[in-house]
């Protein structure tokens, strides 16, 4: 489904310019691989795991053999993005196929928020349940905690987990007096009103065991499992089995337990002879929360981290495996984003897309490893809250003038460091040759700058921009409690 309804002449012109400036064929020439049999779907979604926090992405001080196996037996994307570099917004995009600005789900909802995912939105779970899938979420939700906003009201048959981030409780490392007790839910019921540190130490294992049990119970029908680990969001907790397992310290221990979790999913699928019928996806909700020092992940060569529109905030590891359908050891260097997963899975599952506009597009040709495939998106747009701060098309990323936070003093052992605000001018980067976004080429390629500005203006008209005053003609409100 099209993201924006551009005039036909503008679309054609953009495709021709893309072919000339971006070095690839026009989108109309992209091949369309045949559709395979309807798959089961497992999405493992971690919290604040950085781009370089997986072995095949350059992790140091810990190992991730099961995640590396996903890459060896499937595909690794080098340029995959979360839709916004913060919890609620990112998760909303994954589950709806929409930019969070389209559906009013921004920032990180707190325990006293009166909004949540609107009843009018269609989630990935609702879409798949309509196609005959059993659906479940284990872990972190963060799209509203009141009854009408819970996962079981939005297409999930089962929910076991927490309603928002694991730091939103009295043991918050920065604001211990700001939050009430953290509840644990089973479907619509609170089964533990006050989660303890000892409870959190069991989270990764317990959520994994729940996911494995669900797969076993639904092995004879299509299923969708959304395993949304609260880790490695601070405060960090790990089970006794993995405490001290890594050279890196507690953060490495936590990632190694997440890697074990992925291994348990793969082992279960093999035992049930479901490997060739199951698409497994692994990614993160945003980049690392750098202020926590040795309790934070790594963005590797990327600039900045969580909470910014630089690539360190948005670009995340992405691995996918489906034996027989996704070629082993494939690497995709085309840009893609979490918004693209819903329409891609809809095509694979023969499910009906939402009736309302969405922003994602089908990236199956990329997942299928077609070497001639190109991103089906003209551009990707990077917001912080309601401000459009950057746009990417092909290798180019244009940052508009904006303020962003940067770290001036490292934190350590779970205590935060100190941020300051910095302003960036208009700047253009060639991400194929400048991964760290250090060399501004806006003066060298004014035609590229102008093209990306034009695309950004169209996005502002559709999705809004607080900096320019555009309200967005395609914006839908979130759900709201009276």
Displacement of CA 102 from its chain's centroid (Å) = 16
The catalytically annotated residue of 142, 154, 314, 399 is: 142
Q: How many CA atoms lie within 13 A of 220 on its CB side?
A: 1
Number of H helices, E strands in the chain: 12, 20
Q: Which two tokens stand for residue 195?
A: 């989660």
* Euclidean distance between CA atoms 243 and 304, whole angstroms: 28
Q: Collapsing DSSP states into helix, strand and coil, what is residue 342? A: helix
Beta-strand relationship, 80-81 and 336-337: parallel
Strand partners, 192: 184
* Euclidean distance between CA atoms 173 and 140, whole angstroms: 19
142 is catalytic: yes
Pick from 405, 396, 403: nearest CA to 456: 396
* Euclidean distance between CA atoms 52 and 48, whole angstroms: 11
Quote the Cα angle for 118-119-121, to 5°.
70
87 is catalytic: yes
The one-character DSSP state at 315 is: B
Q: Are 90 and 83 in contact (CB under 8 A)?
A: yes
**Cα dihedral 286, 290, 295, 297 sign:** positive
The catalytically annotated residue of 66, 87, 229, 332 is: 87
Pick from 300, 288, 364: nearest CA to 332: 364
Beta-strand relationship, 223-228 and 134-140: parallel
Active site residues per annotation: 87, 142
């Amino acid at each position: 489904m099209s993201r924006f309804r551009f005039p036909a002449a503008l679309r054609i012109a953009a495709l021709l310019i893309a072919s000339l400036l971006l070095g690839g064929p026009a989108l109309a020439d992209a091949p369309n691989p045949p559709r395979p049999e309807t798959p089961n779907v497992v999405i493992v979604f971690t919290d604040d795991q950085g781009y370089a926090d997986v072995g095949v992405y350059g992790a140091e001080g810990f190992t991730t053999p099961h995640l590396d196996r996903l890459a060896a037996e499937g595909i690794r994307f080098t340029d995959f993005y979360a839709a916004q570099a913060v919890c609620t917004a990112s998760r909303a995009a994954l589950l709806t196929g929409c930019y969070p600005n389209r559906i009013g789900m921004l920032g990180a909802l707190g325990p006293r928020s009166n909004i949540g995912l609107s009843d009018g939105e269609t989630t990935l779970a609702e879409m798949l349940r309509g196609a005959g899938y059993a659906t479940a979420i284990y872990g972190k939700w963060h799209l509203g905690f009141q009854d009408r906003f819970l996962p079981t009201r939005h297409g999930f048959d089962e929910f076991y987990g927490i309603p928002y981030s694991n730091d939103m409780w009295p043991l918050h490392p920065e604001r211990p007096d700001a939050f009430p007790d953290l509840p644990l839910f089973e479907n619509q019921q609170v089964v533990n009103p006050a989660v303890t540190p000892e409870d959190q130490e069991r989270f990764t294992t317990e959520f994994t065991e729940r996911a494995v049990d669900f797969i076993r119970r639904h092995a004879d029908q299509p299923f969708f499992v959304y395993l949304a680990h609260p880790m490695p969001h601070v405060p960090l907790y790990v089970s006794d089995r993995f405490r001290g397992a890594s050279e890196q310290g507690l953060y490495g221990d936590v990632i190694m337990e997440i890697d074990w979790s992925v291994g348990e999913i793969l082992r279960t699928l093999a035992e049930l002879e479901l490997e060739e019928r199951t698409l497994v996806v692994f990614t993160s909700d945003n980049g690392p929360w750098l202020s926590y020092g040795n309790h934070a992940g790594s963005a590797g060569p990327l600039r900045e981290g969580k909470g910014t529109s630089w690539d360190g905030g948005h670009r995340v590891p992405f691995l996918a495996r489906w034996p027989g359908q996704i070629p082993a050891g494939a690497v995709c260097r085309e840009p893609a984003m979490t918004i693209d997963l819903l329409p891609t899975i809809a095509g694979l599952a023969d499910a009906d897309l939402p009736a309302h506009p969405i922003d994602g597009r089908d990236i199956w040709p990329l997942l299928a490893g077609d070497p001639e495939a190109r991103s089906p998106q003209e551009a990707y747009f990077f917001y912080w809250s309601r401000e459009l701060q950057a746009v990417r098309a092909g290798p180019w990323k244009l940052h508009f003038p904006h303020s962003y936070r940067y770290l001036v003093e490292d934190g350590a052992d779970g205590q935060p460091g100190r941020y300051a605000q910095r302003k960036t001018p208009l700047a253009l980067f060639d991400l194929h040759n400048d991964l760290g976004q250090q060399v501004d080429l806006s003066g060298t390629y004014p035609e590229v700058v102008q093209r990306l500005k034009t695309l950004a203006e169209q996005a502002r008209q559709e999705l809004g921009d607080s900096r320019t005053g555009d309200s967005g003609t395609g914006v839908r409100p979130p759900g709201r409690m009276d």
